[in-house]
Amino acid sequence: MIAEKGVWRQLRTRLLFTGPTLFAFITVMIIPFFYGIYLTFTNWDGIATTQELVGFQNYGEVFRDTAFWQSFYLTLKYVLFSVLFINVVAFALAYVLTSGLKGQSLFRAGFFVPNLIGGIVLGFVWQFIFSNVLVYLGKQASIPIFSTSWLADPNKAFWTLVIVTVWQYAGYMMVIYVAGLMSVPKDIMEAASIDGASAWRKLRTMVLPLMIPSFIVCVFLSLQRTFMVYDLNISLTEGGPFASTKMVSMHVYEKAFLSRDYGVGQAEAFVLFLLVATITLIQVYFSKKMEVEA
């Protein structure tokens, strides 16, 4: 009886504090998630008043949809290059901006700014730069590589996406790296200096291993954000030229809302969710093993 009362009281206290959040979480995250999974088993088109259960037919469609796998492959390529360059650039910036440069706070703020601009606006700004500003400069100075718009060539359009993504996220990741660099204990660094270790030696065998937690966070964040890229994709290249830079999110969206194949689109979204979740979990699991203590 007393124990029972205790359980009730405990639950009541918990509900008091977590209840509202839990309620919001369930209604806006959990229920739509499962309702979405339910929709993958129907042939709903997004508007009809009726829908039929079609079993696993939509999942079959997903595996037959070559355009989906092509765009997934393209996204993998984009994620690989973006994550690599974002983190290399961000770490380099952070390293330079913690070395006691004059006006380094100003630089930190400056590099962070692109992250405050939304993806859509950013896409339009860069679209103007790539198809007007650079072309104009290229023609004036007769630099052949800039004299035609990069957005009109499938290969170069892909790189514009990578460049803009790196520019957007490098500043954000830099902030995390700056925090990581500042938390490297001063005493061991001093000890290393007394022992005559070079800057490169200190970076490679002391700073980098101690920064593993920062790397985990940054790689995870950049992985997840670049996998789900949509806003930049639609405003910078619109998937063009001729659908050659259509990332997987855009493909899924168009499947559901443009081709009005809601069930298949939703099934593709779910498959994508599983793939991305697997990749990021693997990344976190393996990089956790690399963590060391000072």
Binding stretches for another protein (CB under 8 A) = 12-13, 15-16, 19-20, 23, 27, 45-49, 131, 135, 148-149, 151-152, 154, 239-243, 254, 257-261
Nearer residue to another protein within complex by CB, 83 or 256? 256
- Tell the smallest beta-carbon distance from residue 154 to another protein (Å): 7
- Of 163 and 256, which has the nearer Cβ to another protein? 256
| Residue of 285, 158, 280 whose CA lies nearest to 223 | 280
- For the CB of residue 20, give the shortest distance to another protein in the complex, in Å: 5
CB of residue 34 vs another protein: minimum separation in angstroms?
Answer: 17
Distances (CA, A) of 152 to 79, 135, 172, 241: 22, 11, 30, 6
Min dist. Cβ of residue 27 to another protein (A): 8
* Closer Cβ to another protein, 202 or 260, answer by number: 260
In the complex with another protein, which residue's Cβ is closer, 12 or 288? 12
Buried b (16+ CB within 10 A) or exposed e, 48-78: eeeeeeeeeebbebbeebeebeebbebbeeb
Identify the burial level of 159 via C-beta atoms within 10 angstroms of its C-beta, where 0-12 means exposed, 13-18 middle and 19 or more buried: middle
* Closest CB 145 distance from another protein, rounded Å: 13
Considering the complex, state which of residue 95 and residue 253 has its C-beta at the smaller distance from another protein.
253
**Least CB distance to another protein at residue 59 (A):** 17
Q: What are the distances in angstroms from CA 78 to CA 5, 26, 30, 120, 193?
A: 56, 33, 30, 18, 40
DSSP H helices, the chain, are 2-25, 31-39, 57-64, 66-96, 104-112, 119-128, 134-140, 154-182, 186-194, 199-202, 208-210, 212-227, 231-236, 248-253, 262-288
- 3-state SS string for 24-90: HHHHHHHHHHHHHHHHCCECCCCCCCCCCECCCHHHHHHHHCHHHHHHHHHHHHHHHHHHHHHHHHH
Residue with Cβ nearer another protein (39 or 218): 39
Smallest distance from another protein to CB 274, Å: 25
CB-nearer residue toward another protein: 34 or 257? 257
